[in-house]
Amino acid sequence: MTAPFKEWTVLPHGKLTRINERILAVVGDLKMPLMVLPRRMTAVRLKSGELVIFSAIALREEEMAELEAFGRPAFLVVPSLRHRLDAPAYVRRYPGIRVVAPRMGAEKIGEVVKVDTHTPDFGDATVRYIEIAGDSALEVESDDGLTIIVNDLIGDIHDEHGLGGWLLKVMGFAGDDPQVPGPVKLMLGKHKSEVAGHFLRWADRPDLRRIVVSHGDIVEGDARGAFRSLAGSL
Read off the pLDDT of each residue in 166-183 and give the average, rounded to a whole number: 77
pLDDT more than 90, % of the chain: 74
The 8-class DSSP code of residue 210 comes to E
pLDDT more than 70, % of the chain: 95
Residues 3-15: tens digit of each pLDDT: 788 889 999 999 9
Give the C-alpha separation, 131 to 224, whole Å.
20
State the pLDDT at residue 198.
97
Q: Pick the residue with more confidence: 169 or 226?
A: 226
Domain edges within the chain: 17-232
Residue 2 has pLDDT above 70, yes or no: no
State the pLDDT at residue 181.
86
- Residue 172 pLDDT level (bands cut at 50, 70, 90): low
Residues 187-220: tens digit of each pLDDT: 888 899 999 999 999 999 999 999 999 999 999 9
What predicted TM-score, i.e. pTM, was given to this entire model?
0.93
Residues 57-85: tens digit of each pLDDT: 999 999 999 999 999 999 999 999 888 89
State the pLDDT at residue 230.
94
State which CATH number among 3.40.50.1980, 3.40.50.10480, 3.90.180.10, 3.60.15.10 fits the domain covering 17-232: 3.60.15.10
Q: Pick the residue with more confidence: 232 or 170?
A: 232
- Residue 39 pLDDT level (bands cut at 50, 70, 90): very high
Read off the pLDDT of each residue in 96-122 and give the average, rounded to a whole number: 94
Q: Pick the residue with more confidence: 128 or 177?
A: 128
Read off the pLDDT of each residue in 81-90 and give the average, rounded to a whole number: 92
Amino acid letter, 218: I
DSSP string of 49-87? SEEEEES-----HHHHHHHHHH-EEEEEE--STT--TTH
Burial of 171 (0-12, 13-18, 19+ CB in 10 A): middle
State the pLDDT at residue 189.
87
Measured CA distances, 9 to 12, 90, 95, 109 (Å): 10, 11, 17, 19
